[in-house]
Amino acid sequence: MKKILLSALAVAAVAGAALPAAAQAWDPGPVRADYGDRGRWDYDRADRLAWRIDRGERDGSLNRWEARRLRSELNDIRSLQYRYMRDGWMNGWRRADLDRRYEALSQRIRWEKRDGDYRPGPYYR
């Protein structure tokens, strides 16, 4: 009985000692573009858009010219994002600009995939 009581008391003491450290507020400071709240998300978003373009070309919903133009637009946005992040800080205006550009490209990909102008033929590809 004493062993159980002592072990329970030891567990309670360890948990009680860790509780104040867990209750402290954490302030990340200024948002870094490469580690910030949305910096990694933008890279993931660009990767998802590239994947959608590749998939559209493979499944035939995008012809090669549409896919090439969409990839070029995506590369332009990635280049702009690199220029924005080159100094290491991402402010609200830059983030909003990238969001707007990524969303517009996403809508163009959706439109091009659904426009139905891919007509396979012997001389088309």
Domain containing residue 69:
29-114
Per-residue pLDDT of the chain (125 residues; tens, 9 = 90+): 667 766 766 666 666 665 555 555 554 444 444 444 444 556 688 999 999 999 999 988 998 899 999 999 999 999 998 888 887 777 888 889 999 999 999 999 999 988 876 555 555 54
Distance from the first to the final alpha carbon of the chain = 81
Distances (CA, A) of 124 to 57, 61, 71, 72, 120: 13, 14, 20, 21, 6
In a domain, 15, yes or no: no
Instruction: For residue 102, tell me if it sits in a domain.
Output: yes
Structural domains counted in the chain: 1
Query: pTM for this structure?
Result: 0.61
Does residue 57 lie within any of the structural domains? yes
Q: Is residue 106 part of a domain?
A: yes
Residue 7: inside a domain: no
Is there a domain that residue 67 lies in?
yes
